[in-house]
Amino acid sequence: MTESRVALITGSSSGIGAAVARRLADEGMRIVVNSARSEAAGKELASSLPDAVYVKGDVADPADAQRIVQATIDAYGRLDVLVNNAGTTRFIPLNDLEGADISAWREIFDVNVFGAWQLTAAAVPHLRASGSASVINISSVSATRALGSSIPYAVSKAALNHMTRLLASQLGPDIRVNAVAPGLVDTAWYAEADEVWESSRDWITANTPLKRVGTPEDVSEAVHFLIRATYTTGDVITVDGGRHIV
């Protein structure tokens, strides 16, 4: 009997990460759910899936990054898919240069860039052994457009896009590396920023060809596609309802 493939999804106790975990579980994958803080939610999600474990750990911490990957191997003996979804931001108006102080840059880059790098580096030996491995980074449309929750956030996602391409050039043919760049997605991040969310929701709905904001499930479908797209690497797929074309 062939063993089911194993997917590690960072930052997956809620939102996009949780939707990705459910989507890949629907495909028969064994899932490792991860979060840095939301332990109860992570354990609840893992228990709701057919074959999943929860591993608490902060991707920004080098020791935790190694431990998260090792816990995956300890649980399942293999790793086939890594989804670098863990991310953070601060809501800072783009014209507020003083608000975007160095602590904001460090906090955001520690998770969004260095965290993704550390998880990937730790996972590579195990991914190579898979025979058909995939790394998928969750980026943002703010990586290529002058918008976003803050300048440090947008720049971190631009760095993640370029990291995606560089890793794809070096890790093939054993490991494919791609990214998904969502537009505005209905998650807890925006629920906690009511004014930002409501104004953004109205504007996106009015000015996007598909006339709605995105959902975590929209992003999970793109992740699922990239896992199956075996001749695609180094690509960044935009999931924004067509906003980038108008």
Q: Would 56 be classed as within a structural domain? A: yes
Average pLDDT over residues 171-185: 96
Q: Would 78 be classed as within a structural domain? A: yes
- pLDDT, residue 16, reads 97
- pLDDT, residue 195, reads 64
Look at residue 182 and give its three-state secondary structure: strand
> For residue 93, what pLDDT band results from cuts at 50, 70 and 90?
very high
Q: Is the pLDDT of residue 146 over 50?
A: yes
Distance (Å, whole) CA 124 – CA 119: 9
The amino acid sitting at 71 is A
Which residues fall within 8 angstroms of residue 83, CB to CB, at 6 or more apart? 7, 8, 9, 10, 12, 17, 20, 135, 136, 138, 223
Overall number of domains in the chain: 1
Q: What b/e string do you get for 218-245 counting C-beta neighbours within 10 Å, with b at 16 or more? A: bbbebbbebbeeeeebbebbbbbbebee
Q: Would 201 be classed as within a structural domain? A: no
CATH code where residue 171 lies = 3.40.50.720
Q: Is the pLDDT of residue 139 over 90?
A: yes
Query: Helices (DSSP H) in 96-171: which residue ranges?
Result: 102-109, 116-128, 151-171
Q: Would 117 be classed as within a structural domain? A: yes
Average pLDDT over residues 49-70: 98
pTM above 0.75, yes or no: yes
| Residue range of the domain that includes 88 | 6-187+215-239
- pLDDT, residue 155, reads 98
pLDDT in tens, 33-46: 999 999 999 999 99
> For residue 205, what pLDDT band results from cuts at 50, 70 and 90?
confident
Q: Would 193 be classed as within a structural domain? A: no
Q: Is the pLDDT of residue 54 over 90?
A: yes
Q: Which of 102-106, 173-177, 183-187 has the lowest mean pLDDT?
A: 183-187
Q: Would 197 be classed as within a structural domain? A: no
Q: How many CB atoms lie within 10 A of CB 50?
A: 11
- pLDDT, residue 240, reads 93
Q: Would 71 be classed as within a structural domain? A: yes
The amino acid sitting at 166 is L
Q: Which residues are catalytic?
A: 153
Q: Would 39 be classed as within a structural domain? A: yes
Q: Which of 97-106, 173-182, 185-194 has the lowest mean pLDDT?
A: 185-194
